[in-house]
Amino acid sequence: MSTSSSPAKFGRRAAVLGAPIAHSLSPALHRAAYRHLGLDWQYDAIEVTAEQVVDFVTCCGPEWVGLSLTMPLKEAVLPALAQMTPTVALSKSANTVIFGEAGPMGHNTDVTGFMNALSEHHIVRVETAAILGSGATARSALLALQQMGASEVTLVGRMGDSLPRCVALAQELGLRVAVHPWEGAIEAIGAPLVINTAPASAGARLSEQVPAPVGLLFEVLYDPRPTPLADAWARRGGQVIGGLDLLVHQAVEQVALMTGQRVSAEVLRQAL
């Protein structure tokens, strides 16, 4: 793990951090944006663990403009931030770090990414939905749903530390909440919108229980593609929004934060 480099040699730098990180498509997206914008910037994928991320962020030099973060770093990075947006403060999740004169600032572009991906599929208002999983991405989904007008949500997750945090956030946002353990997930997936933020293995266990007809599945994962749950959903005639849609739309916002310029989702999508 190395953050040091010469600004004269590398110019401006950015990277996606995570562990593992080799599978990440973020470099392809951000490099495509830089080419489109005519920027001679460097964007890498760097393996950084949750235990290392605070030191990494602290050691970044003046050549660094920003970082993209995958799990489990979205929460682990919070102690390294000098500032954070209200969205990060609510969700306790930062998928983006921007370096400025006041120090590293945390942003959450997953929330806007969810909303813009749904909007692209002509969904601009949501009344009720179910969320599978209860980690940082699930909390971002809650914020997106609340901003899209939702009044109630069903949460499905393991009865550990993360699920009560999701319940508390939903209540803070004024949402009515129903909670199911994974064993009762079948009762939740009949919702008109189901957002799966859980690992593929968890979704796979539901794939043979998907009822017909089904509503809309927003599958956050893009590896494997399709996931077993998304495949089962489509075979039963349901509409699926894939994880690449979220990846592209949150990256559009990251590029804007890092460069001060906007690119279209289509520019990034063509790089995949």
pLDDT tens for 52-84 read 999 999 999 999 999 999 988 999 999 999 999
CATH 3.40.50.10860 maps onto the chain at: 7-108+248-269
Give me the CATH topology for the region 111-241: Rossmann fold (3.40.50)
Question: Of the candidates 168, 165, 105, 180, which has an alpha carbon nearest to the alpha carbon of residue 135?
Answer: 165
Give CATH 3.40.50.720 domain extents, the chain: 111-241
Span 116-163, pLDDT tens digits? 999 999 999 999 999 999 999 999 999 999 999 999 999 999 888 799
pLDDT at 254: 98
Alpha-carbon distance values, 134 to 91, 156, 169, 203, 231 (Å): 11, 7, 11, 13, 22
The predicted pLDDT at position 1 comes to 60
**CA 125/CA 127 separation, integer angstroms:** 7
Phi, psi of 193 (to 5 degrees): -135, 125
What CATH code would you report for 7-108+248-269? 3.40.50.10860
Residue-level pLDDT at 10:
53
Looking only at the bridges linking them, the beta strands covering 103-107 and 96-100 are: antiparallel
Positions of the chain with pLDDT lower than 70, given as ranges: 1-10
pLDDT of residue 6: 39
Compute how many other C-beta atoms are within 10 angstroms of the C-beta atom of residue 183.
Answer: 9
